[in-house]
Chains A and B, each alone.
Chain A
Amino acid sequence: MIADIWILATASLVAISCSMVGVFLILRRMSLLGDAISHSVLLGIVLAYLITDSRSIIAMFIGATIIGLVTAWLSNSLHKLGKLQTDASIGIVFTWFFAMGVILVTLYAGKVDIDQECVLYGEIAFAPFDTIIFGGNDIGPRAFWVILGVFLLNITIFILAFNRFKLVAFNSGMAISLGVSVTFWHYLLMTMVSLTTVASFDAVGAILVVALLIIPASTAYLLAKSLKSMLIIAAIYAELSVLIGYALAVVLDSNIAASIGVVSGVLLMITVAVLQWQKKRTPVSVF
């Protein structure tokens, strides 16, 4: 029972953090870069494991953030120097990094504490057993505290710099003319994507993060009228996906992370269907 609560708490934090970062990815039309970064952080995590020979959280964060930023930077440079389309250069970079990550995981399977399964699924079901001992007390799962830290960090940055993010998200041209460094805010957002992905990695794996980054935020995009409401709606959809997804996983005895991803997609489809139905019911005014 306590294990269930820990799992739900961790999954909720993962889903809400991802959906809030995802809102900005959607608004800045960078869903694919988010997808790319969430794949390539795997390489950063594995390299951090191999270099420090430990599961140090700090090393993992540093490794993944560096690789995440390198992905964003390299895609951009390939786009400019090689005159390739943006999505093509993104695709080349992230598949390359992810492939190297998977190869390293397989080569050092004994040494690295992650395996292919974990990359794909995450292991949120085992999260409650990997706990942190603090001052002699068992204070709960490691994954929970890691994602809680990133969640608080994201919230703080968003609250402090809400107006800046809003400006850059909706009108980057105007931001440039006001002297705001769009590049800085771009790479800050990419850093947040990397951190959130790493923190979620233990729980949901490298690929299902994409579902949580993009799907609730897209659903919110269909409904919201302002940035604030979009963030709130995205968080609500994310939380709903977690609750229903967990129930589904229990019923089907399927993987928790995958079920959460599926439910978030189904919620999107339902929302789209309802919106389409409403559109048909309201007569289209000709004038």
Chain B
Amino acid sequence: MNKLQGFELLEPGYWQLFIEFWSFVDVNATWVLVGTVLLGISASVIGSFAFLRKRSLMGDALAHAALPGVMIAFILFQTNSPLVMFFGAIFSSFMGLFLMSWLPKNTKIKPDAAMAITLSFFFALGMMLLSYIQGLEIAGKSGLDKMLFGQAAAMLPSDLYLLSFVAVTILITVIIFFQKFRLIAFNLVYAQALGFNMVLYETILAILIVTSVVIGLQIVGVVLMAAVLLTPVAAARFWSKNLSTMLFTAGVIGGVSGLISANISYMAPAMPTGPWMVVVLSVLFILSFLFAPERGLFSNLNKQHKLRLKVREENILRTLYVLNERTLQPANQEIQLNYSFSLEDIMKSRSVGLGELQQTLKRLCVKGLIVNMPSQQIDIKLSERGMDQAIDLTIRHRLWENYLTQKVNIDAEDVHGQAEKVEHLLTEEQTQQIEQELINQSTKDPHGKLIPVSRKIKKELSHDS
């Protein structure tokens, strides 16, 4: 009973806060919302370029590296004004960037270790200074530890103005240099060959990454900033391979996570914002990874399953063709494909389990590719359309065998296995291309079997004459 009462008391409170938040009565909360969403968008867009440059975790090291700068700026200037903090963070973040690229170039330390060294050394330095500051008597020191996990609700309007301004600047810069950044991201060598001053654009990109990391510190915090740069683009990649669409999707994902976490931060102000934002992003990532059409895991599995079924069906059609061919007397007369065979006949010439065979036959029946024998399926016979398909498959199989022996010089004995796979994949156009390439085309495959003529062509020929 007690529990229930507590629950009832709790619920409306949260609900009321929720409504309050979305009716925008609290100006500061609205600014927090704007700032967080802008941060989410700009960080995920700029993070996409880092991801494409294969430097996904650069943001992690840079965010950690910003911490000592904030602390030193605070000790030197004894103020927590946003601009001072901002430039302190930028400065030490660049030191981190420098160390991270200097170490692998000049010592045998590997890039990944250099990143981990930078990250942990700067973080330790930041934490040492933070604990040192806690012992000092300076006003305004209480906000500093919010840099670690972020606390959006505790941000002041002045922080938010700066943040929003910088975030919008980052987005505009990205739009201006979009073409150049795209070149850097995808083909650095080509870009250099074109004569662009790549050092300049790389530096601009680095500056943008550092700034977006730095403005994220108060909302997301040092520790988890990496995820806001990285996770949105990783999720967006499952939706599109086109750069503009991908950037847009990443921006939307980043923006949505900002929206939700600003809301959570308003309802539970004591909660750190960064972890919530990252959890929201992770959920969006997992959803994209599993359910995205075309590239998601389930879509891929589904495609694989369909392909497997298709291969099984086509294998049976091919077997029926071969069985028909064997019954021909004499061997070289034109094939009719109208004999019936039993399950056993099929199983003798192709290794397939009885259950799988029956299921496959059932599907072939439904598709009308074999003549329906519903009760016992002892007499299995191709239908007219089934014959067409069986012939086409055989053409592809035997043409591919010829292609491999004639053009690639593979031994006739080794080509069957490959043709067995390729026959399911060749399109009509590709088949025609192969036909044209084999100029001294024989009507037989390497094993001396006749290559049938497609019925469509046969009909056209008979119409012509």
User: Do A31 and B128 touch across chains, with their CB atoms under 8 A apart?
Assistant: no
Shortest distance in angstroms between A67's beta carbon and chain B's nearest beta carbon?
Answer: 15
Most chain B CB atoms below 10 A, which of A84, A87, A249, A261:
A87
- Indicate the size class of the contact surface on chain A: 35 or more
A96 to B235, CA, bound (A): 13
| Residues A85 and B131 in contact, CB atoms below 8 Å apart | no
Q: Take A103-B279, A207-B123, A275-B107 as given contacts and tell me if A254 and B223 are in contact as well, using a CB distance cutoff of 8 Å.
A: no
Which residues of B from 266 to 321 have beta carbons under 8 Å from A? 270-272, 274-276, 278-279, 282, 285, 289, 297
A157 sits at the interface (CB 8 A):
no
Scan A66-104; emit 1 where CB is below 8 A from any B CB, else 0. 000000000000100110110111111001101110110
Binds A, one of B50-58, B163-171, B339-347: B50-58
**Interface assignment of A175: CB less than 8 Å from any CB of chain B:** no
CB–CB A85/B119 < 8 A: no
- Contact of A85 with B54 in the complex, beta carbons under 8 Å: yes
CA distance A154 to B57 in the complex (A): 29
Return the CB mask of A2-33 against B: 1 if under 8 Å, else 0: 00000000000000000000000010011110
A14 nearest CB across to chain B (Å)? 14
Contact A261 B279 (CB under 8 A): no
CB distance from A80 to the nearest CB of B (A): 11
Knowing A85-B56, A99-B275, A261-B120, the reply to whether A254 touches B109 (Cβ < 8 A) is no
Could you tell me if A116 and B272 are in contact, using CB atoms closer than 8 angstroms? yes
Q: Are A210 and B119 in contact (CB under 8 A)?
A: yes
What's the nearest-Cβ distance from chain B to residue A257, in Å?
Answer: 8
A121 engages B127 (CB within 8 Å)? yes
Q: What is the bound-complex CA distance between A256 and B371, given in angstroms?
A: 83
Tell whether, in the assembled complex, residue B113 and residue A26 are in contact, meaning their CB atoms are under 8 Å apart.
Answer: yes
Chain B residues whose CB sits within 8 angstroms of the CB of A244 once the complex forms: none
Q: Is A35 an interface residue (CB 8 A)?
A: yes
Interchain nearest-CB distance for A189 vs B (Å): 16
Q: Are B121 and A215 in contact (CB under 8 A)?
A: yes
B230 within 8 A of A: yes
Q: Which of B196-232 contact A (CB under 8 A)?
A: 223-224, 226-227, 230-231
CB < 8 Å neighbour of B282 from A92, A102, A276:
A92
Asked if B103 lies at the interface with its beta carbon under 8 angstroms from chain A, I say: yes
Q: How far is the CB of A18 from chain B (nearest CB, A)?
A: 11
For B279, the chain A residues whose CB sits under 8 A away are 96, 99-100, 103
Let me know if A106 and B120 touch, CB within 8 A: no
Select A214's contact among B117, B226, B278, B285, beta carbons within 8 Å: B117
In the assembly, what is the distance between CA of A34 and CA of B275, in Å?
Answer: 21
Contact of A208 among B120, B135, B285, B297 (CB under 8 A): B120
CB distance A88 to B120 under 8 Å? no
Residue of chain A at shortest CB distance from B279: A99
**Chain B min CB distance to A31 (Å):** 4
A221 adjacent to B108 (CB under 8 Å): yes
**Interfacial residues of chain A within 214-264, with CB under 8 A of chain B in the complex:** 214-215, 218, 221-222, 248-249, 252-255, 257-262, 264
B124 lies within 8 A of chain A by Cβ: yes
Complexed CA–CA distance, A275 and B106 (Å): 10
Q: Is A265 an interface residue (CB 8 A)?
A: yes
User: Chain B residues with Cβ under 8 A from A161's Cβ?
Assistant: none
Residues of A within 8 A of B57 (CB): 32, 87-88, 90-91
- Taking A34-B116, A211-B120, A215-B121 as contacts, is the C-beta distance between A91 and B56 under 8 angstroms? yes
**B227, B237, B271, most chain A CB atoms within 10 A:** B227
Q: Which of A26, A96, A207, A254 makes the CB contact (< 8 A) with B131?
A: A254
Q: Is B278's CB under 8 angstroms from A96's CB?
A: yes
Contact A222 B107, beta carbon cutoff 8 Å: yes
Hey, what's the 0/1 contact readout for A124-139 against B, CB within 8 Å counting as 1? 0000000000000000
Interface membership of B364, Cβ < 8 A? no
A30 to B297, CA, bound (A): 27
B223 and A207 within 8 A (CB): yes
Does B45 count as interface, using CB distance less than 8 angstroms? no
B238 touches A82 (CB 8 A): yes
Interface presence of A272 (CB below 8 A): yes
- Across-interface contacts of B271 in A (CB, < 8 A): 103, 106
Cβ-neighbour of A103 out of B110, B230, B276 (below 8 A): B276
The answer to whether B128 touches A98, judged by C-beta atoms less than 8 angstroms apart, is no
Assuming A91-B60, A214-B120, is B128 touching A276 (CB within 8 A)? no
Q: Which residue of B lies closest to A97 (CB)?
A: B282
A120 is an interface residue with CB less than 8 A from chain B = yes
Residues of B with Cβ closer than 8 Å to A? 51, 54, 56-57, 60, 103, 106-110, 112-113, 115-117, 119-121, 123-125, 127-132, 135, 148-149, 223-224, 226-227, 230-231, 234, 237-238, 270-272, 274-276, 278-279, 282, 285, 289, 297
Residues of A bordering B, CB below 8 Å: 26, 29-32, 34-35, 78, 81-82, 84-85, 87-92, 95-96, 98-100, 102-103, 106, 116, 120-121, 207-208, 210-211, 213-215, 218, 221-222, 248-249, 252-255, 257-262, 264-265, 268, 272, 275-276
4 A-B pairs with least C-beta separation: A261-B124, A265-B121, A95-B227, A211-B120
Using A31-B110, A272-B106 as known contacts, list a sample of 17 further A-B pairs with CB atoms less than 8 Å apart, ordered by residue number in A. A30-B112, A31-B113, A81-B297, A82-B234, A82-B289, A88-B57, A89-B234, A91-B231, A92-B285, A98-B275, A102-B149, A103-B279, A120-B127, A211-B121, A222-B107, A253-B135, A259-B128
